[in-house]
Chains A and B, each alone.
Chain A
């Protein structure tokens, strides 16, 4: 899923300064699961902003709403009748949701309320980790199901680099060396011979290097 983290409230306060009627718009999908932008976070942010405005003697209307999904035309339609009551929307969806809403409501300023971080997973209570960078041509079959593109600090495809120490990456003792993980898994699979197959120069044209990507499926088009 897409992992986001809350923006510092000071930054949001700064962004909303010019506007007096603000809608805080949450999303029920990824940002809810990673506890950054769901209904609960909408409530918390709205209250915090109200308290701030009260304490500063600033008058602002702060509204709240959470959509099933912000990256979906159908759900975004739901607020069509609501948006006229506001001068700006603080969206707690990921960058995709913010942009989709912005596209839909052309004259409405859309301010992101979260930082979109990565494609990741919830490893532990309060811990989300990056697992994929959507490189567009997946190499997991050759790397024991562990992604060197997103999990190795140098995206080394024939690793590990010389900095791998005690299973940790050279950048920090808190970061696993992706190549140690790959080798451990290849060993478990009894596929260590695979390690010596050289990964050729990668075609990054399917990555962001190839420009904005689209997926077209003729079979599902109408």
Chain B
């Protein structure tokens, strides 16, 4: 038996001990596939896989699965993001099979932002499963070859399973138990929330490693470059579960407006370089929201280019 659970390149790279690099691409609010493929092609050679968000911030968009297929057809490896907000277990299992039929081999299981933030604030949510139960579901389908209902699956999905972690959300003391729980459910890689508070993140990593969790899961640190001091303040004050230290805001405020974006990239690169040295870090998830063209620069300057050919 191969030591791989899927045909995922991300899996091979992480298991070979290289630092993995992923980025993300939000599908358009329309049906033009070019918007996805353009973003994908921009970053194709600089990352190992591209996450495709699933109606992020609860705004209705092109389906994540469809956008993943567009990327896959271009030879770009997608990470299918799936939230439990919009679909029950029938639909989720069905989409997992659909993804597997295209040999989409990475998936990230999330609960999703509450629908009150999006364009369907008056809609129903589903939450039949939670994110950990979705992890259990994919693992069950893959490893047991069975549906949740117990029947056999013909050609079970071969998917490398990920989950998200927010090292900064409250309450802090359960951040590590919560990570342990996600691993117990079957998460094989973790992509974290955007990290700005490096010290607190290192503390979280140290605790994860003390519990032996970094041996059991690949932790990819989430990085989002700041475009401006305005964005930094917004992230600090308005985005739930985000920890932006005042130094970052001061540093951005200290440079002229037209240089703030470059400073944001510089901070991001410095953070990656610092975190590369932290034991247990398996890679980076660079989320340059609607700023995909900057991903190559960040990857290059951080010394993560070229990507291993595997």
A167 on the B face (CB < 8 A):
yes
Pairwise interchain contact A161-B170, C-beta atoms closer than 8 A: no
Q: Are B114 and A156 in contact (CB under 8 A)?
A: no
B127 lies within 8 A of A155 (CB): yes
- How many residues on A have C-beta within 8 angstroms of the other chain's C-beta atoms? 29
Q: Is the interface of A mostly helix, strand, loop or mixed?
A: loop
Confirm or deny: A157 has a beta carbon within 8 angstroms of a beta carbon on chain B.
yes
Distance from A135 Cβ to chain B, minimum over Cβ atoms (Å): 12
Nearest CB on B from A115, distance (A) = 15
- Assess whether B130 is in contact with A155, with CB atoms less than 8 Å apart: yes
User: Cβ of B30 < 8 Å from any Cβ of A?
Assistant: no
CA distance A160 to B173 in the complex (A): 12
Are B241 and A162 neighbours in the complex by a CB distance under 8 Å? yes
For residue B85, CB closer than 8 A to chain A, the reply is: yes
Which residues of B are found within 8 Å of A166, using beta-carbon distances? 170
Q: Which of A37-45, A89-97, A100-108, A197-205 contacts B (4 or more CB under 8 A)?
A: A197-205
Q: In B173-218, which residues have CB < 8 Å from any A CB? A: 173-174, 177-178, 180-181, 184-185, 193
22 contacts between A and B (CB under 8 A): A153-B114, A154-B114, A155-B130, A156-B111, A156-B127, A157-B133, A158-B181, A161-B131, A162-B166, A162-B169, A162-B240, A162-B241, A163-B169, A163-B240, A164-B169, A165-B241, A171-B114, A180-B170, A196-B181, A200-B133, A201-B133, A201-B148
User: Residues on B close to A: CB < 8 A?
Assistant: 84-85, 89, 111-114, 116, 125, 127-133, 136-137, 148, 164-166, 169-171, 173-174, 177-178, 180-181, 184-185, 193, 240-241
New contact pairs (5) apart from A154-B84, A165-B240, A196-B184, CB-CB < 8 Å: A158-B133, A160-B178, A162-B166, A164-B170, A198-B132
